[in-house]
Structure 1
Amino acid sequence: MKEPNIVVVGSLNMDIVIEADRAPLEGETIMGNHSSFIPGGKGANQAVALAKLGAQTTLLGTIGDDPFGTSLLRSLKDSGVETGKVKEVDNNPTGIASILLAEGDNRIVVVPGANDDCLPDDIKEHEELIEKADLVLLQLEIPLATVTTAAKIAKKHGKTVILNPAPARSLPEKLLQNVDYITPNQSELGILSKMDQDRFDLQKAMEIVQESGVDHVITTLGSEGAVYKSQESAVKTTPAHQVPVVDTTGAGDAFNAGLSYAIGLGKELSEAVSFASKVSALAVTKFGAQAGMPDRKEVEAFDAPPFNHNGTVN
């Protein structure tokens, strides 16, 4: 079986992770339990996850000329990601993300740094990589103009485009009309659909996004699993899995990588979403977004029971 060739266009950050028993209240200082410096960034995380699954993976992004950037490149190479097209700049430091882990959840603040220097011209310079790829995976931690350019070039060459619309923001139709699959969580879906939260309807919100030109909407719902909808089809559900949670930081990135890998292999959407759900479940059982990403053998051997929507186990 031929492994998919996937280009990821996205961010590289150093995650500065603080573990504590709880999050501080407004104006409060508390003592933490542990700190770590861990390679991250949504683009880099998804690229590592794809490479570990077996995809031929190339990352387009930008780092600073500093120790964090050097460390990030080393981690990517060690995971099997092609990093030869990652740009280095000396006018902006490598991006960082401050992550607080407490009570089984995370709170994240991202400072983009050099990620802001990932520009449309950089994508145009490497158009031949996209032309040779099977699929392009995008997120929103780099300039929106760059994401839009990458999607446009990918569609010009008839490539599948998957967009993980995080961090959440409203998106122009000129981007969405070049996206085949979009993967918001519920809050991101609310922003994309511009639907009043007091009258939020999941299926209607997904239909609104599809009206912008996206063929497939996949919405992740945390412990309730994921729902997905193609044009002219009803909403379908894939349950989450019961696993011991260690670190949720890379869960969304694992899901997007798993979905992209399966779509790149030519799997039907239902099978791809199920595969992505397993990748995400395995990722949260280990510490660190990139270190926790499973390989394909782990995913295929995974047999944790799924949850029902009422929270019980099937």
Structure 2
Amino acid sequence: MSEKKFIIAGIGEILWDVLSPTDKRLGGAPANFAYYAGKFGAESYPVSSIGNDSDGNEILSVMKKNGLSTDYISRNSHPTGVVNVNLDSQGKPCYKIKEDVAWDHVEMTAKLLDLSKKLDAVCFGTLAQRSADSRKTIQKFISGTNPECIRILDINLRQNYFNLASICESLDMSDILKLNDEELPVVSKMMSLEGDEGKIIHALMEKFKLDIVILTKGAKGARIVSRTEDISEIPTKKVDIVDTVGAGDSFTAVVAVGLLQKKDLSNILSEANEVAGIVCSQSGAMVEFSSKSISS
């Protein structure tokens, strides 16, 4: 008898990451998350919208090529999302995100509500909530999940597309918060939280009744704090960084699948660090690798 596959979704933006006039890659944090969750054996679904245009047609084609389900990708009259990505000397991206695009207008449907009720885990962020249409849909979708579903907020603060209200509303719906070492000071300042890294993490956990907070720190590794554990790890493998696009999303996906598989947090952290390193060593958000090659 085959093992039951966990059903996981990433809801929000799907788009083209344009790295140069001749180089565009499929991206968007929720879509990247779904891609990597699928790599680790989940039945995964990106939930988003694309335009009725050639960019949208290409997205569907690349999704199928990458093994991503298109079942919950709707189409509307707005243009398909595009992000211009500039990489610095360390491969860290700077994003210029086009506004009023298809993923700003994701509509709630009975089909989406049915999916939400089946989920074992879901990941969402703040970027796609910059517009009223998608914010309403995302909040209904998350609210429609069952109590056992793991709800992950991968905060993804981008440009000026976030505010205190949207962050707090999202945290109130979440079990897990994932953010990086550049986002933590921004969030703590907005909420007037003081103290060191650990104190701020625990304050967020108490304020929003979170089960886990995940803090990623690039080459300095990551930290996972739960109600009973506080684990940090610095990656031991040296990685030649090409770019860091999609690395955080792969990390989140490994955590989601690992928690559903009831793995120890220390093992999850090691595996997530290793996968993020592999993603950083290749160009683009959705890189090719086998989950069987992961040492942990």
Question: 1:141 is matched with which residue: 127, 130, 136?
Answer: 127
Question: 2:103 is matched with which residue: 103, 115, 118?
Answer: 115
Counterpart CA distance in 2 for 1:125 and 1:3 is 20
Q: Where in structure 2 are there 5+ consecutive unaligned residues?
A: 130-134
Following superposition, the deviation at residue 42 of structure 1 comes to 1.2
TM-score, normalised on structure 2?
Answer: 0.86
Counterpart CA distance in 1 for 2:67 and 2:270 is 25
Asked whether 1:268 is paired with 2:264, we answer: yes
Counterpart CA distance in 1 for 2:195 and 2:187 is 12
**Secondary structure at the counterpart of residue 96 of structure 2:** strand
Name the counterpart of 1:6.
8
Name the counterpart of 1:294.
289
Name the counterpart of 1:153.
144
1:40-189 matches, cutoff 5 A = 40-90=27-77, 92-105=78-91, 106-112=93-99, 113-119=101-107, 121-122=108-109, 125-143=111-129, 144-154=135-145, 156-167=146-157, 169=162, 170=164, 171-189=166-184
**Secondary structure at the counterpart of residue 11 of structure 1:** coil
Change in CA separation of 1:293 and 1:61 when aligned onto 2, cut-off 3 Å: same
Structure 1 or 2, whichever has the larger Rg, is 1
Counterpart CA distance in 2 for 1:194 and 1:152 is 28
Following superposition, the deviation at residue 270 of structure 1 comes to 2.6
Counterpart CA distance in 2 for 1:158 and 1:199 is 32
Change in CA separation of 1:185 and 1:236 when aligned onto 2, cut-off 3 Å: same
Q: How many residues align?
A: 280
Following superposition, the deviation at residue 196 of structure 1 comes to 8.9
Following superposition, the deviation at residue 207 of structure 1 comes to 1.3
Following superposition, the deviation at residue 95 of structure 1 comes to 0.7
Following superposition, the deviation at residue 54 of structure 1 comes to 2.2
Query: Can you list the C-alpha shifts for 1:222-275, whole angstroms capped at 9, x where unaligned?
Result: 1110012112x4532022242111121121111112212212322233322222
RMSD: 2.4
Range 246-255 or range 221-230, more displaced: 246-255
Q: Where in structure 1 are there 5+ consecutive unaligned residues?
A: 19-33, 303-314
Counterpart CA distance in 1 for 2:33 and 2:58 is 17
TM-score, normalised on structure 1?
Answer: 0.81
Identical residues among aligned pairs (%):
25
